[in-house]
Chain A
Amino acid sequence: MAVIFINDREFQTEEEVTLLELARQKGIEIPALCHHQALSPYGACRLCTVEVCKEDKSRLVTSCTYPVREEGISVYTDSPRVKQLRRVIVKLLLARCPQVKLIQDLAEEMGLEGSPFPLHDQEECILCGLCVRVCSEVIGKNAVSFSYRGAGRKVSTPFNEPSEECVGCTACAFVCPTGAIKVEDSDETRYMEFWNTKIPLRRCKECGITYTPENTPEYILGKLELPKNLLDLCEKCRRKAVAESLSNYDVTSRSVIIKK
């Protein structure tokens, strides 16, 4: 156990929890874009930066990756230094993605009107990497990853070719904070333009309507250790069976429907 201070309030905490986790437990807001409690910390957006002071030294750290270890540190989640850094980060993201609601909202909260910087893009992706991580860490696939480096960095399937790995589960779209990953189900296929990938949908043997991507059920069943006869059940009974077996899982977040 360690005693630390956040915004001058004293807290007792386990060691090794991150500052962001601790702050959230205690109801202290810290903005964060690339963090998800079901995924490993990544430290890319830098929006969750806070100021950590010990004696007369102070430094900026990202709260999502900073583990509490030192007794007696004072953390400031909204100091002028922190605020200034966040402002610039939001201005930078706003220049990249002026149409993204999430970023617009952040900018508005800070009283920013547009980004003053010279380059303006129309990206929808902020490169938080949540899709990449959910795909590999939770789904156990590596259908998408980062490609190129520097300013040209992107998330994509390998060579931007239609993915053979993808099971069409759409966990990526679910965690995407900007809505960049759109899923369109038509009669025959599930199409994700962002990944240049189409997945055929399976038809109900009874009524013939398409209801789920072709390979997803078997794959997910394998991952979840759901009852083997699941696919023999009707929708209603299936839901019940899934709910029963999922209740065995420690589902801490709405998004965690599958556990490794």
Chain B
Amino acid sequence: MRKIINPADLESFRQSCIKDMSREETWVAVCCGTGCSASGAHQVVSSFKEALQEKNIDGKITTRVTGCHGFCEQGPLVVVHPGNYLYCQVTPDDVEEIIEKTIIQKKAVERLQYTDPVSKEKVVVEDQVPFYYNQHRLLMRNSGIIDPTSIKDYLAISGYRALSMVLQEKSPLEVIEEIKASGLRGRGGAGFPTGLKWESCYNAPDNTRYVICNADEGDPGCFQDRSILEGNPHSVLEGMIIGAYAVSAEKGYIYVRNEYPLAVKNFSTALEQAREYGLLGENILGSGFSFDVKINRGGGAFVCGESSALIASIEGKAGEPRDKYIHATEKGLWDKPTVLNNVKTWASVPYIINNGADWYAQIGTEKSKGTMVFSLTGNVNNTGLVEVPMGITLRKLVFDIGGGIPEGKNIKAVQTGGPSGGCIPEKLLDLPLDYEKLTEAGSMMGSGGMIVMDESTCMVDVARYFLSFTQEESCGKCTPCREGGKQMLAILNNIMEGKGQENDLDMLEEIAQAMKEGSLCALGGMAPNPVLTTLKYFHQEYLDHIRDEKCPAKVCRNLIKYFINQEVCTGCGRCLKACPVDAVEGTKDEPHIIHQEKCTKCGACLEVCRYEAISVE
């Protein structure tokens, strides 16, 4: 291990890293991101290593454990280089064949290739899969290529070049100008212009300043920050060092949730390596600038992701928000000027410095620049992490990248911005995804959560589901959020139980408005969004629940009834056996009936019926 003492030294060392990386002619990238690991990617890695060793070619061919490739739906994913052969849902049993055919004979293993659901054709290389070619992978791309635990891999792909350039050629103010010109906005939710944030911290009169990386990522179903930290931790660190230089901070923190052990591990490794090589710590690259980063593990409360709560938590106090009329850039951590940015925001910085603000500003829309990583989940064929230019339409995202809705169902809405975002209806699918447009539609960019909902979704149920999440995660400090959320939830429950009244909707609006205007932090301020957007776009559905006591999507248990069609029922008795509460009655081979007073609407009968004799009304 050697310390790199100056930029020239870095470049010559980089050359040796590039050589090392390109020496491996053939290599296998096995995605070990969150999704693929869960479906057995590590066993695939071991199988590769063993099989290559057996064949005595492990010296020539590397198996590289990489971060998330994004296409989690099809995991575990394996990509063989060169050639970029993509294999989906690989199991240890497939390894032998991949080695034999692809690595030795340079041919594809067809049965493991991705089949385009539309054209039904096999897709050979990664970039040709519609899921990938419609994306603009900037922050996520390298996660699939490098070994996140190897600083040499990162250096080989131009890592720390931006830092070296900044230290040599740019004054802090020039860095800030560059970030301002790029149009980068915070990726943690509010979309505040990053350059301006840095500038106000720079201008705050104090000698001690801090930078913080927000990796609390509490939105259910979101794992983009985690994936970047796991798959390319140095990119985040490099961004932080550049930011620290720009605002003259000597110390930084990264607040990572405790449930992310691999992210913590890989980021710790990155820190150690960067220190060893002289890219972090005292006198970085001989520039005279010193900076170090400490890891802070968060307890996992959603609200701790909020900036003032996060700062309180690092200070060792209760992780509760406080009013922010004085910004953290002036009085943040320990009352010192502080820049807090999201993982994706920090990770964007090296790309901007390397390629220039103009290049970055070309991507995206007028006011929302660059790319955004969404975690696409719900009723959509290709779930996973997708990175797209700002301004792409929801339709394109859901249909071209997401591959549309499973089982041929119709789309009903998309919830963007996590649990406190809003539901965007099908009719607005051509909405370009940028900060302003999403806010206008009553939703938000948030941290990039995206949940697709098909026609079988009840929108009242959806509103209640998200509100119950934010309600549980509320810290309970301020009245509107704590009491308001509780009452709204009770009103929604009443509606779903058929006890709704028409003025309930006015009451929901009234409380929602008070929460938006009066809450202490954005948790309470945004929590009503799912309710307000569903009220706005699916008003009739609420009225159906209230006036007709009907749930059109047939979801709300108290508003539906199960019936057995006497003409169709063969009296096979399957439903009778399946019913957990003995609500089904009938003699063998005679049509059965359901006793409504006993029925709990669990749906077990419907599931087991082979003759489609059971209907829900």
| Residues in chain A within 8 A of chain B (CB atoms) | 41, 43-47, 49, 60-62, 65-67, 81, 84-85, 88-89, 92-93, 95-96, 116-119, 126-127, 129, 145-146, 148-153
Closest to A40 in B: B322
Give Cα A121 to B486, complex, Å.
12
Closest to A18 in B: B325
Contact call B325/A61, Cβ cutoff below 8 A: yes
**A88-B480 contact in complex given A116-B507, A117-B487, C-beta closer than 8 Å:** yes
Contact call A150/B510, Cβ cutoff below 8 A: no
B519 within 8 A of A: yes
- In the assembled complex, the CB of A49 is this many whole angstroms from the nearest CB of chain B, namely 6
- In the assembled complex, the CB of B600 is this many whole angstroms from the nearest CB of chain A, namely 24
Give the chain A neighbours of B476 by CB distance below 8 A.
127, 146, 148-153
Q: Which 10 A-B pairs have the closest CB atoms?
A: A153-B476, A88-B514, A92-B483, A65-B323, A150-B474, A117-B487, A151-B486, A43-B323, A118-B490, A119-B490
Contact call B490/A45, Cβ cutoff below 8 A: no
- In the assembled complex, the CB of B204 is this many whole angstroms from the nearest CB of chain A, namely 13
B520 within 8 A of A: yes
Contact call B487/A44, Cβ cutoff below 8 A: no
Contact call A88/B510, Cβ cutoff below 8 A: yes
Give Cα A41 to B326, complex, Å.
13
Give the chain A neighbours of B474 by CB distance below 8 A.
149-151
- In the assembled complex, the CB of B264 is this many whole angstroms from the nearest CB of chain A, namely 24
**A149-B325 contact in complex given A44-B520, A88-B511, A118-B491, C-beta closer than 8 Å:** no
Give the chain A neighbours of B513 by CB distance below 8 A.
84, 88
Give the chain A neighbours of B494 by CB distance below 8 A.
118
CB 8 Å contact bits of B445-480 with A (1 = contact, 0 = none)? 000000000000000000000000001111111111
- In the assembled complex, the CB of B433 is this many whole angstroms from the nearest CB of chain A, namely 27
Give the chain A neighbours of B517 by CB distance below 8 A.
49, 60, 81, 85
Give the one of A49, A84, A88, A151 with max B CB within 10 A.
A88
B82 within 8 A of A: no
24 contacts between A and B (CB under 8 A): A43-B323, A44-B477, A45-B478, A60-B517, A61-B323, A66-B323, A66-B325, A67-B326, A85-B518, A89-B480, A92-B480, A93-B483, A95-B483, A117-B490, A117-B511, A118-B494, A127-B477, A148-B476, A149-B301, A149-B303, A150-B475, A151-B486, A152-B476, A153-B475
Contact call B483/A96, Cβ cutoff below 8 A: yes
CB 8 Å contact bits of B63-93 with A (1 = contact, 0 = none)? 0000000000000000000000000000000
Give Cα A118 to B490, complex, Å.
7
Give Cα A117 to B485, complex, Å.
11
**A-contacting residues, B487-510, CB 8 Å:** 487, 490-491, 494, 507, 510
Main secondary structure of the interface of B (DSSP, over half): helix
Determine which of A60, A88, A126, A146 lies in contact with B484 in the assembled complex, contact meaning CB atoms within 8 Å.
A88
- In the assembled complex, the CB of B205 is this many whole angstroms from the nearest CB of chain A, namely 14
Interface residues on B, range: 35 or more
Contact call B479/A44, Cβ cutoff below 8 A: yes
B318 within 8 A of A: yes
Give Cα A43 to B518, complex, Å.
10
Give Cα A149 to B482, complex, Å.
9
Give the chain B neighbours of A151 by CB distance below 8 A.
471, 474, 476, 482-483, 485-486
Closest to B511 in A: A88
Contact call A46/B486, Cβ cutoff below 8 A: no
Contact call B477/A67, Cβ cutoff below 8 A: no
Give the chain B neighbours of A148 by CB distance below 8 A.
476
Closest to B473 in A: A150
Give Cα A84 to B322, complex, Å.
23
Give the chain B neighbours of A47 by CB distance below 8 A.
479
Give Cα A162 to B265, complex, Å.
41
Contact call B518/A46, Cβ cutoff below 8 A: yes
- In the assembled complex, the CB of B523 is this many whole angstroms from the nearest CB of chain A, namely 10
Give Cα A47 to B480, complex, Å.
10
Give the chain A neighbours of B477 by CB distance below 8 A.
44, 127, 129, 146, 153
Closest to B481 in A: A150
